[in-house]
């Protein structure tokens, strides 16, 4: 994977996906059909005022390049489904799932170490961000569109670089 730098403050997602797909961010933006710069929320400061990008746009662009995308949640959980009391539940009511009996953090790392794709994360300030990754067996190389590359060996590796991972989107060739 080749590190690419995000062309602006609102394009980390397409830049991460472009790295994961092995194309330039300009090529990916051409497929998506816009550059995310349309001001859709003028009451907000930049970059929140811009249209930005949605993961579904990235998934569609990957499909057009013959790659399937599978989202793996770091902490898969759910609140009770109760339409009558929709605001009655808090984070304490969350139920964490362990897909196929595997603990969620270990499952996340297992997928991270054996695939390539992009990661939805948060920075120390809580801002949304996206990173590209390529699994190396027992570690993963993480590519930040902000300019950094680091080796992930576990959650502390992300924290040490100022990130909290939320979801990974692994890319696999379509059959």
Instruction: Dump pLDDT digits (tens) for 124-137.
Output: 999 999 999 999 99
Q: Is residue 7 in some structural domain?
A: no
- Per-residue pLDDT, averaged over 63-89, amounts to 80
The reported pTM is: 0.89
Q: Which CATH number do you get for residue 114?
A: 3.90.70.10
Q: Is residue 2 in some structural domain?
A: no
Q: Is residue 94 in some structural domain?
A: yes
pLDDT at 162 over 90: yes
pLDDT number for residue 17: 98
- Per-residue pLDDT, averaged over 42-69, amounts to 95
10 Å Cβ neighbour count for 21?
25
| DSSP designation for 98 | -
Q: Is residue 5 in some structural domain?
A: no
Q: Is residue 168 in some structural domain?
A: yes
Q: Is residue 118 in some structural domain?
A: yes
- pLDDT tens-digit profile of 15-30? 999 999 999 999 999 9
- Per-residue pLDDT, averaged over 53-69, amounts to 97
**In which domain, by residue range, is 59 found?**
12-173
Banded model confidence at residue 88, pLDDT cuts 50, 70, 90: low
- Per-residue pLDDT, averaged over 44-63, amounts to 94
The structural domain count of the chain equals 1
In sequence order, what E strands does the chain have? 67-73, 77-78, 95-96, 116-123, 128-135, 140-143, 149-152, 163-173
pLDDT at 170 over 70: yes
Buried/exposed 126-162: b ≥16 CB within 10 Å, e otherwise? eeebbbbbbbeeeebbbbbbeeeebebeeeebbeebe
pLDDT number for residue 175: 81
Helices H, strands E: what count in the chain? 5, 8
């Amino acid at each position: 994977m080749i590190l690419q730098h995000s062309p602006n403050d609102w394009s980390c997602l397409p830049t991460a996906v472009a790295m994961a797909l092995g194309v330039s961010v300009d090529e990916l933006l051409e497929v998506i059909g816009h550059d995310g710069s349309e001001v859709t929320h003028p009451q907000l400061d930049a970059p929140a005022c811009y249209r930005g990008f949605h993961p579904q746009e990235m998934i569609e662009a990957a499909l057009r390049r013959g790659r399937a995308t599978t989202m793996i949640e770091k902490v898969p959980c759910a609140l009770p489904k109760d339409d009558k009391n929709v605001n009655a539940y808090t984070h304490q009511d969350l139920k964490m799932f362990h897909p196929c009996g595997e603990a969620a953090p270990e499952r996340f790392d297992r997928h991270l170490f054996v695939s390539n794709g992009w990661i939805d994360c948060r920075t120390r300030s809580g801002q949304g961000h996206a990173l590209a990754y390529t699994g190396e067996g027992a570690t993963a190389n993480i590519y930040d569109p902000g300019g950094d590359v680091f080796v992930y060996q576990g959650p502390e590796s992300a924290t040490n670089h100022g990130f909290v991972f939320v979801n990974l989107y692994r890319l696999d060739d379509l059959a």
